[in-house]
Structure 1
Amino acid sequence: MATVKQSYLFFCVRIFPNKEFKVWVWVCMFLVFGYWLGSMPQIFLICSPFEMNWNPSVPSGHCASYNVAFTTIDCVNMVTELVIMLLPIPFIQPAADGHRDVNRPLNHLPYWPLVCLVNPPFPIAT
């Protein structure tokens, strides 16, 4: 997911000429990279010894809660998606109308459940 977000953010840097917007995009890139950098060790080091990740019969090994780990990762993922989704709204809206309306970006919040449907915060059991 982080590479898809980074790709979208690089695309935004290229198409938007506004310097302030580009600064915010680079801040988002840093946050997404930090999120990815923090979640990778959490995924790989959840079990001790490391072999227990693929062999649960290792004696005297233990794993942390997968549900807690992946729920934490998914919640941070949803926050970064929300930030990225709302990022261009204040910069696009004034250009479309010719004036700035403070309440207008809030009109797009009903689309947030669609983002949650595409990327659910909890694994869906099948």
Structure 2
Amino acid sequence: MLERKAHEALKGQYAAIVSEQRHYNSILEAFQMQTFLEAYELWETVTEDKPLAALLADPTLAQIKSNNEEKAKKSKVKSLMQNAVADTVIYKIMACKTAKEVECARNEILRMQTSKERLAS
């Protein structure tokens, strides 16, 4: 009986340590993602989430180029963010259309995981 109680106590302590480690890892991942995107001047794309400006009826070459660059930047950020998350998270963020949606969904998933783990311990 005493062994069982000791086992349960150790199991609870282990669960708490794992939960804390996951929470720490998720904070670290978010920080690393932000730093990485800032280094490539892409973080603003996540935080501002501006819609693409519609091209006028007769756009100039510069306007077309700028529009294409913005489209590419949005796709690049979304791709980088998707590749940086765990497989368990990717399925939950596949439906996101913008980098901002990916970031919000990712943060929500991490919050839910942390809450579940804390309730379990």
TM range (shorter): 0.3 to 0.5
Higher RCO (CA-CA < 8 Å; seq separation 6+)? 2
Greater percentage in helix: 2
Q: Output the TM-score relative to the length of structure 1.
A: 0.37
